[in-house]
Structure 1
Amino acid sequence: MKRHRHFTLVLVAALLFGGPAAAKAPTTWDGLVQVKSKRLNLVYLQPGADFRVYTKVMIEPTEVAFAKNWQRDYNRTASSLSGRVSDSDVQQALTKAVKAADDIFTEAWTKGGYMVVTEPGPDVLRVQTGIVNITVNAPDQPTAGRSYSFSGEAGYATLFVEARDSMTGALLGRAVDQGVAGDNSAAWRTSVSNRADFRYLVEDWAKAGVRGMTELKALSPIKP
């Protein structure tokens, strides 16, 4: 059930920000109501939810996924076989990304004054986060000869966040946001600069989530 829920969230994020044919965002979602947000594209909250009781967070492992056809489409345009992205490259990148994202979110919540715990409790908020639809414009794959990777941005990704009461599992809120990594007009891209640019994007999302929690406490209980 838990895995199915996470897959559903990834699918919805893909539909909302999947390109020209992206679906129109619903006004309600599993009993949540869409509210305006200055920080994220889409935010949904449970009417009546009270976030003031939460002083700790239980962080689930970050879901990380590339855009469905990103590897295939990139390899079609690669100038040589050595410049293609292999299945091994993708799996290694995902493993490193999960670890990096988990560290970033843990650090952000800790700096925000929340204790990060591993067990449920009456004052514990359970947070599930995902970084999906990842597209890297210029992966900078090693090739036999000297080559350079160029792109106006490092790439794109979509964030989704789900918050639940850790004791009851009650759904309190969800958010979805599309972001651009490395939107700095640096045409020459390297593996090092790509990692740094995507890290900056995730750090911005993590900080926005903690600031958003502070705002939700001030607004609690959430009005219908």
Structure 2
Amino acid sequence: MRHINTSHIAMAGLVVFSLFGCATQPATLQQGPDAEITKDGLVKVDNSRLALSYVRPDVDWTQYSKLYFRPTKVTNDHPKDYRAPRVDPQTDGLNATYDLPQESLDKMAQQFSKTVQDVFNHEQPFELVTRAGPNTLVIDTAVSDIRLSAPVESSRRSYNSMGKTYTQNSGSMVLLAVLKDGQTDEVLAKAADRAIGFDQWRQNTKVFNWGDVKTVYRRWVNDFKNALMTAAADTPETN
């Protein structure tokens, strides 16, 4: 990702989370001998909005009236084949880094929890709980492989010289989710997707970038809520 040197870049992007389909075609579970099935019995979803999406067949989603979001994990972890962007000592500075400080990672994790509380309020058909149990869906989430479009603001040479940074987008990050039954701990679904920043040249500041993070989280949690409601509505009634 190119950047024009001269302030901080964020870690956010646009995540559209749904286990159950994309905007143009309905999602379907793969079938037949060529269906992709994980070791824990999850079947790959075709036409998913996410890069990867797997769901256990025949889940009765109507039984889950409670949601337990475990604290999300946000890290600077990358896959083994990741190659960090080259730092230019002349323009970026000797101390420039693309790894977010722990303070920023903690802030991102706290903001995710706050967004969950805001979206799943008293007007929603789900109760947020703080432990696993009957009729509870446990949601484990993680954010990793954060790839900034420019070095962290405080690490850059221009930080103390009132310089500015312009980038085409803010960067990207990977969001992972695992859904489990709160009583049996059975894995019901898994999803993974890379969030890519808005494709628009602009000056990157802490204000703009943190606003991106909050927007991404709100869209993710809202889409997750809508996906659960859709899945429950589409579950066949049993006599």
TM-score tier, shorter chain, comes to: 0.7 to 0.9
TM-score by length of 1: 0.75
SS of residue in 1 equivalent to 2:97: coil
Among the aligned pairs, what percent are the same residue?
A: 23
**RCO comparison, higher one (Cα < 8 Å, 6+):** 2
Q: Choose 1 or 2 for highest CA Rg.
A: 2
Higher helix fraction (1 or 2): 1
2:185 corresponds in structure 1 to: 169
1:157 corresponds in structure 2 to: 173
1:59 corresponds in structure 2 to: 69
Task: Structure 1: give runs of 5+ residues left out of the alignment.
Answer: 1-25
Whole-Å separation in 1 of the counterparts to 2:77 and 2:202: 22
2:51 corresponds in structure 1 to: 41
Query: Compared with structure 1, are the counterparts of its residues 152 and 53 closer, same or farther at alpha carbon in structure 2 (3 Å cutoff)?
Result: same
Query: Compared with structure 1, are the counterparts of its residues 80 and 158 closer, same or farther at alpha carbon in structure 2 (3 Å cutoff)?
Result: closer
TM-score by length of 2: 0.71
Deviation at 1:139, TM superposition (A): 4.8
2:5 corresponds in structure 1 to: none
Task: Structure 2: give runs of 5+ residues left out of the alignment.
Answer: 1-34
Alignment: residue pair count: 193
SS of residue in 2 equivalent to 1:77: coil
Whole-Å separation in 1 of the counterparts to 2:95 and 2:207: 17
Query: Compared with structure 1, are the counterparts of its residues 67 and 155 closer, same or farther at alpha carbon in structure 2 (3 Å cutoff)?
Result: farther
2:37 corresponds in structure 1 to: 28
Q: Can you list the C-alpha shifts for 1:12-46, whole angstroms capped at 9, x where unaligned?
A: xxxxxxxxxxxxxx922221001134543322111
Aligned mate of 2:163, from 132, 136, 147: 147
The reply to whether residue 129 of structure 1 matches residue 141 of structure 2 is yes
SS of residue in 1 equivalent to 2:120: helix
The reply to whether residue 118 of structure 1 matches residue 118 of structure 2 is no
Whole-Å separation in 2 of the counterparts to 1:159 and 1:105: 15
1:211 corresponds in structure 2 to: 226
Residues 163 and 172 of structure 1 are in contact (CA less than 8 Å); yes or no, is this contact kept in structure 2?
Answer: yes
Query: Compared with structure 1, are the counterparts of its residues 80 and 48 closer, same or farther at alpha carbon in structure 2 (3 Å cutoff)?
Result: closer
Whole-Å separation in 2 of the counterparts to 1:51 and 1:37: 20
